[in-house]
Structure 1
């Protein structure tokens, strides 16, 4: 494997196999562990006021299409093309890390963090399952000490720059269940799962204990 291939493999493989008999607990990220959508906040943060306004103007046609088809994945992909296309992977990772450091105390729900830490103290394998790009959520996952991260993977071109699309389907709804089974086996048992939108319904149904909108505290 080439050096670039090795680096990409290391980045993409976040979760390891959980210890034998360890409970697997799945957390949605945006709106569950956080108070708002982290990817939108990240894009706005890096674009600045003028860049954000200009980008939104370019997104107007895509928003019109979304109003008709309600395809969140398509709208998100268009946002990536407008705000991130051509950005080197290392630059994106550095900006995501800086964003996590700057916004942590404004984004993270205290009661969600308490629940997360409680499961950690019980030896659980805690996995974040999110529709946001894995690359932008990874710095938060590392700060949390997450054992797993499953998100929507960005596509990078041969020069390791953001290609302007995703490698796979938007990680919401049934895709969250598919990703969990791909990571942990078709007969995976989820001890508990937490989410806050209809995009978490299937994941919550997979869990023995389901927490829907149970976290309400704000920083």
Structure 2
């Protein structure tokens, strides 16, 4: 059995599902207030001064603090059923199914939110490592459990969950610098669906 590691947004999907889910799950007022509060960070991101990791963290702190955890879970399942299928690249799904036919262990490793990503992955029989929102007494705190699952943290979580020496061949698929460290784990690396050395 080999191991196949897939990034989600931009690799399996043709767009960013994190921002789509924010629009899906947050009311208009929260979106407007959040947009105003995030404006300096977004400007900094566009200028290269702020990372996408910081943006994700701030978005969740502003958008989900005080949110009912069960309500968001229900929204996540609805989003996974109704919206995610329209976002998935056909070639990505074909590649996932090919790995399944080979009997490979398939893991989606993403900085997206588990509240919707887990439901989609489990429906296909895939493992998932992703951002988990912290819950206290049934209410979201707006923080991630164990921090943001991007960049080197993807590698840390993969190594914590899987013994990489047990896999004859490791495949990895990514599309941004966020995935470089994960790609370095692989014998066969695919960046934006092109095999690289």
Q: Same fold (TM over 0.5)?
A: yes
Give the corresponding residue for 1:38.
17
Aligned 1:1-219 pairs, distance under 5 A: 22-47=1-26, 51-66=30-45, 67=47, 69-146=49-126, 148-157=127-136, 159-185=137-163, 187=165, 189=167, 191-214=170-193
Alpha-carbon distance in 2 for matches of 1:89, 1:68: 33
Tell me, what secondary structure is at the counterpart of 1:206? coil
Q: After TM superposition, give the deviation of residue 131 of structure 1 in Å.
A: 0.9
Q: After TM superposition, give the deviation of residue 61 of structure 1 in Å.
A: 3.1
- Asked if the contact 2:113–2:131 (Cα under 8 Å) also holds between the matched residues in 1, the reply is yes
Tell me, what secondary structure is at the counterpart of 2:26? helix
Alpha-carbon distance in 1 for matches of 2:48, 2:184: 28
- Asked if the contact 2:53–2:150 (Cα under 8 Å) also holds between the matched residues in 1, the reply is no
TM-score by length of 1: 0.80
Count of aligned positions: 192
Moved more, 33-42 or 129-138: 129-138
TM-score by length of 2: 0.88
Alpha-carbon distance in 2 for matches of 1:188, 1:151: 22
Call closer, same or farther: CA 1:186–1:115 in 2, change over 3 Å. closer
Structure 2, gaps ≥5 residues long:
none
Query: 1:170-208: CA deviations, max 9, x gaps?
Result: 212211111110001364646201010011111111111
- Asked if the contact 2:41–2:50 (Cα under 8 Å) also holds between the matched residues in 1, the reply is no
Alpha-carbon distance in 2 for matches of 1:105, 1:30: 13
Tell me, what secondary structure is at the counterpart of 2:65? coil
Tell me, what secondary structure is at the counterpart of 1:211? strand
Structure 1, gaps ≥5 residues long:
1-21
